[in-house]
Structure 1
Amino acid sequence: MPPSVSIESAPDWSERTNNTAADLPNLGGRRPPRRPLPLRTIALGAIGSVLLLIGSFGAGGTLVHDPVLGSGPLSVLRYGHGRDVAVTVVYVGFALLVWAWVRLGRGVIAHLVTSRGVLWATAAWLGPMLVAPPLFTRDVYSYLGQGLLALNGLDPYGVGPSALTGPIPENVHPTWQTTPAPYGPLFMGVAKGVILLAGHDIIASVIVMRLVLLGGLVMLICALPGLVRHLGGRLPVALWLVAASPMTVVHLVGGPHNDMLMIGLLSVGTLLMLEGKNVAGIGLVSAAMAIKATAGLALPFLVWIWASRLEGPLWRRFLRAAFPAVGVFVVVFGACTALAKVGFGWLSALSAPGMIVNYLSAPTAVGQALHSLVSLFGETNIWPFVGATRTLGSVLLVAILAWNWWQARDGGPEAVRRAAIALCCGALLSPVLLPWYTTWGLALGSAFLWTPRALSYVVGASIALVLAYYPDGEQAMYNWPFVAVGIGAALLGALSLVRFDPLGLSCTFGKLSRTVATGHLPQEAHGSQR
C-alpha cells in the first residue's frame, strides 16, 4: 500500500484502545495497559442504530393490524409523508452505522482498537435492534407461521402459513403464504418453542425469536478466539467482520434471520474439530444443518480434520473417520427430527427460495442477461434461460466443491479454509442469493488473516447487499437510480476503509477555513476578480 494512503498514518485514527497481548510488544510479563474505548465511534454507531429503531416503526416490516402503530401519535409514521420521513430516518441511521463501522475498522487494522472495543461497539449497536420491528425483511413472520403450523399439528413441510388464520399468518409475505418451510427439523422445534413461550402475541413472538437467534451470535463470538488461534487471523478483525458488521446488525439481528443460529453452531462445531473433539464437533455441525441445510456443505471438509489425526493410508484414514461421522450425523439429525415431531419433507421444500429471481445470484443474473438480450428480437419466457443457467451453475458448484474438498485432504486449517470457500460458493452459485447468505462463509473465513484491501471489498459488498432491499423487505434491485446510489455508497465505504478522506473534502474545507481565518482569497480567486 502506498505511503500516501497508509492506514497507520491516517490522522482520523487517534482514538486508541487497549491492545490484546497478541497485538502488543513484549512487556516483560506485565499486563498491557488499558486505554479508553473509541467512545465517539461507538456513540456514532449507537445513534445510527437508534435512528434505525425509530424509522423502523414506520418503514420496517410493520404489522398489518398493529396494536401499537395502528392508532395514536405513532400511526403518522405509517402513511404518506410520515412514512417518507420514517424511510429517510432509516437510511440516515444506516449511513451513520456504516460510518462508525468503517471508523472502527480503520482502528482495528491499525492495531489501535482491539477486541474489547469491538465488543462494546457491537453491544451498543445491537441493543436498539432487539426491540425494533423487522428491518429489510419479513422472514421472521414466516418462521413464526411455520412454528404455528407445527404446533397445531399441521405439517409445515406440506402446507404454508395460509392454512391458518390469525395475526401471525396474515403478516407473512405473500410470496411465502402457501410455501412449505425449507428449514430443518431443529429450527421447526425452535419456532414451536417460541410460539409456546410468547403465545399468540406477535410482537412478543418477534422479540423472543430475535433473542433466541441471538444465541447464535453469542456462540460465534465465543468460538472466534479459538478459531483465530488455530487459523492465524486477528481476533479484533474477526469480531469487526462478523459481530459489528451492518450485515449482522441490520440483517441477522434486525431481521432477524435463522442463519445467525446456524453459523453459531457451525463455528463452535468447527472449533471443536480443530481441538480434536471430533464427535462433539460433527454433532454440532449436524445440528447446524438441522437449522439450515447449507451448513452441511462444511461436513465433508471437517471429516478430513478427523482423518488427519489417524494413521495409515489416506483413504483408509478417511473411511475410518467418515463412518463414525455419518453415525453421529444420523443420531443428531434423527433426534432433532423426533423431538420436533416433523418428517423429512423439508428436503423437497429446499427449492422454495428458487421462486425468487434476482441478479444477486450469478447463475440467475446470467440467465436474466441472456433473456434481456434475446428479448430485443421478440417476447420470450424468462424461465428457460434462468433454468438453464441455474443448472450450469449447479454443475459448476459441484465441481468447485469437489476440487476444494480434495485440496483439503491434509486436514487442519486448510480444511477449514476450503470449507469457508465452499460455503461462499454455495451462496454465490445458488439459484437465489439473499444478502444474509454471505455470512455463511464469512463466519469461518473471518478467523484467517485478511489484507486491508480484502477487508475493503467486504465493506463495499456489505453496504451494497443491505441496500439491495427496502426497509420493508421488498427488493430494490430494479430501481436503477437507487441502485446507482447504493453502488456509489458501497464504493465510498470501501475506499474509506483504506484511504483517509477519499473524496478530498478535508483539503477543500481546510483551504476554505484558512481563507476565512486569514481574510485572503486563494490565487485562483484573485484571478477571477480581475
Structure 2
Amino acid sequence: MPPSVSTSSAQQRWSGWTELVAADVIDNGGRGLRGPLPLRTIALGAIGSVLLLAGSFGAAGVLVHDPILGSGPLSAMRYGHGKDLATAVVYLGFGLLVWAWVRLGRGVLARLVDSRGVLLATAAWLAPMLAAPPLFTRDVYSYLGQGLLALHGIDPYAVGPSALTGPIPDNVHPTWQTTPAPYGPLFMGVAKGVILVAGDGMISSVIVMRLVLLCGLGMLIFALPGLVRHLGGRLPVALWLAAASPMTVVHLVGGPHNDMLMIGLLAVGTLLILDGKHAGGLALATMAMAIKATAGLALPFLVWVWASHLAGPRWQRFARAVVPALALFAVVFGACMALAKVGFGWLPALSAPGMIVNYLSTPTALGQAAFGIASLFFDADYGAFVSAGRSLGSVVLAGILVWQWWQARDGGTEAVRRAAIVLFAGALLSPVVLPWYLTWGMALACALPWSPRALSYVVGASVALVLAYSPDGEQAMYNWPLVAVGICAAFLGALSLVRFDPLGFSPLFRRATQVEQHLPR
C-alpha cells in the first residue's frame, strides 16, 4: 500500500470494497448460509462451459472421420461458415467462463465465498468438458498414438505414431506423426492402459484418457488444504487459482493434458514430505517425473525439506536424506520403466517439443528478436539465432536452479516456495513454451499468500495464454488482430478482478470509483 495510507484507513477502505463486491457475489436470495453460494456466478460459468462444448464439435480438434458429425446436417459445423460460427460460440463461451471466474475471484478475495462455493463452481464448469472434443490442442491423439505403439510392442521413444495405421494415428497432428514420445515411462504405461480399456474407438479413448488424467486434478484438490496449512495461503484462493481457472477448465481438462496428472502427483508428494512422510512423498514426486520429466526440477528441493526434519549439522542431515532419496528414486523410476516395458529412450526424446518455435519461450523470443535486428544488416541464419537464444536460456535456467536450490538449504516451506519459482522458470525458459506449462509452478504456488494485484496478473496471463492457440489446436500467436484482441481481453480481465466496472459502463458500481484507488496492493 502507499506509504501515506495508514493500516486502519486501508482496512476501512477494503471493508468498503467488500460491501461493493457483495452486490456482485451474494445472489442466494439473502439466505444466511455459512458461506454464500454465488449461484448466478456459477450458472454464468456453466453457460460458458456449455457453449464451449457446443462450439467444440465444429471448431475444436475434431476427428478426421467423425462418426457423429461426419455426415448429416450437423457436419456443416466443421466447414466454412458453419465452422466460423462454431468458433465464435467457443470464444463466446470462453468469455463467459472468464467473466464468471473473475466474479468468483472477487468474492473469494472479499471472503464472501468459501471453498465449498469454489468447488461447486469447479464441478459445474468442468462437467461439460468431459464430453468435448479436444479443445485448443490435439495432443491427446498423440498420447493415444504413443500408447498404441507401446501396446503393439513398438518402442514409442524410437518412432512416432505414423509407424502404425488406423484411426488413432490418422488423427495425430502432422507435427507429431513421426516424433517419438517426450513423456516419461509411467505415462507410457498409462496411455497403454487407456488403449487396453477403450480400444481404438476415438471418442471413447479420448473420454477415458480425460477421466484418467482428471485423477491428477482430484489429487491436487486433495492436497491443497494441507499445502495451504504449511505454506500460509488461503484455501479458497488456492482452489480458485488451481481448480476453477480457465487454464484448468480449458487446457488441462478440455485439452486434456498429462500435465494435470503430473502436478497432482507432485502436489500430494510435496504435502507428504512436508508432513514428515518422506519415503511416500518422494515416491509420488518421482512418479510425477515419470509422467513428465519437468517435475524433476522440484525433487532437489524436496530433499532439503526431508533433511530439515532430521537432527544434526546441515550436511550430515543432507547426506542422511539424499542417500535414501536417490535409492528410492532409482527403485521407483526403475519400476515405472519395467512396468511400462520401455527403456531410457525417453531421455533423448525430451528434445522433441523443441520442433515448435514460438515467442512464448523467452529464449526463443530473444533469438527471434536478435535475428530480426541482424537481418537488417546482413543475411542472418534464423536457426542459428534461435539455437543461440535457447542455449543461453538453458544456461540461465541452470543458474536459477542452482541458486534457488542453495537458498532453500534450510528446507521447510521456503524450499517449496523456491521449488515453485524454479518450476515457473523451467516453463518460461524452456526452448518451447506451451500455455499449460505455467500450471507446473502454480500447483505449489497457489497455496502461498497472494496479494490482489498479483492475482490480477494471473488473471491476465491466464486469458492471454488460452487465446495463444486456436480452438482447433493451431497456434494463433502470429494472427496479429487476434493477438491484439487477446491482449485487450487479458488486460480487461486483470483489471476487472480489482476494479469494478473498469470501462465505466454500469451505474450500479459508481461508488467503486471512490474506493478503487485505495485498494490494497
Both structures adopt the same fold (TM-score exceeding 0.5): yes
Alignment: residue pair count: 498
Letter in 1 for 2:323: F
CA distance in 2 between partners of 1:336 and 1:374 (Å): 47
1:98 match: 98
Per-residue deviation, residues 180-201 of structure 1 (Å, max 9, x unmatched): 0000000000000000000010
| SS of aligned partner of 2:25 | coil
Contact 2:49 2:93 in 1 (8 A): yes
Query: In the TM superposition, what is the alpha-carbon distance from 1:35 to its structure 2 partner?
Result: 4.6
CA distance in 1 between partners of 2:419 and 2:134 (Å): 31
Letter in 1 for 2:282: I
Letter in 1 for 2:368: Q
Note if 1:377 corresponds to 2:385.
no
Query: In the TM superposition, what is the alpha-carbon distance from 1:33 to its structure 2 partner?
Result: 5.1
2:326 match: 326
Query: In the TM superposition, what is the alpha-carbon distance from 1:103 to its structure 2 partner?
Result: 0.1
2:386 match: 386
2:88 match: 88
CA distance in 2 between partners of 1:7 and 1:51 (Å): 32
1:162 match: 162
2:20 match: 10
2:309 match: 309
Letter in 2 for 1:75: S
2:348 match: 348
Per-residue deviation, residues 180-224 of structure 1 (Å, max 9, x unmatched): 000000000000000000001011000000000000000000000
1:21 match: none
Query: In the TM superposition, what is the alpha-carbon distance from 1:507 to its structure 2 partner?
Result: 4.0
So what's the TM-score if we normalise by structure 1?
0.92
Letter in 1 for 2:80: G
Q: How does 1:66-77 map to 2 (within 5 A)?
A: 66-77=66-77
Contact 1:7 1:109 in 2 (8 A): no
Query: In the TM superposition, what is the alpha-carbon distance from 1:459 to its structure 2 partner?
Result: 0.2
Query: In the TM superposition, what is the alpha-carbon distance from 1:317 to its structure 2 partner?
Result: 1.1
* Change over 3 Å in CA distance of 1:467–1:12 after alignment to 2: farther
Contact 1:60 1:135 in 2 (8 A): yes
Letter in 2 for 1:269: G
> How many percent of aligned residue pairs carry the same amino acid?
76
CA distance in 2 between partners of 1:177 and 1:378 (Å): 36
CA distance in 1 between partners of 2:33 and 2:325 (Å): 46
Larger Rg belongs to: 1
CA distance in 1 between partners of 2:306 and 2:26 (Å): 42
Letter in 2 for 1:68: I
Query: In the TM superposition, what is the alpha-carbon distance from 1:15 to its structure 2 partner?
Result: 2.9
CA distance in 2 between partners of 1:46 and 1:7 (Å): 27
CA distance in 1 between partners of 2:23 and 2:466 (Å): 26
CA distance in 2 between partners of 1:413 and 1:154 (Å): 43
So what's the TM-score if we normalise by structure 2?
0.93
1:138 match: 138
Contact 2:21 2:106 in 1 (8 A): no
Contact 1:7 1:498 in 2 (8 A): no
RMSD: 1.7
Q: How does 1:90-239 map to 2 (within 5 A)?
A: 90-239=90-239
Contact 1:17 1:117 in 2 (8 A): no
Letter in 1 for 2:484: A
Query: In the TM superposition, what is the alpha-carbon distance from 1:506 to its structure 2 partner?
Result: 1.6
1:515 match: none
CA distance in 1 between partners of 2:98 and 2:24 (Å): 19
Runs of 5+ in structure 1 lacking a partner?
19-31, 511-530
* Change over 3 Å in CA distance of 1:272–1:70 after alignment to 2: same
Q: Greater CA deviation, 203-212 or 313-322?
A: 313-322
Note if 1:396 corresponds to 2:396.
yes
Contact 2:241 2:446 in 1 (8 A): yes
Runs of 5+ in structure 2 lacking a partner?
3-9, 511-521
Runs in 1 of length 4+ with deviation above 6 angstroms?
Answer: 2-6
Letter in 2 for 1:178: T
1:453 match: 453
Q: Greater CA deviation, 256-265 or 381-390?
A: 381-390
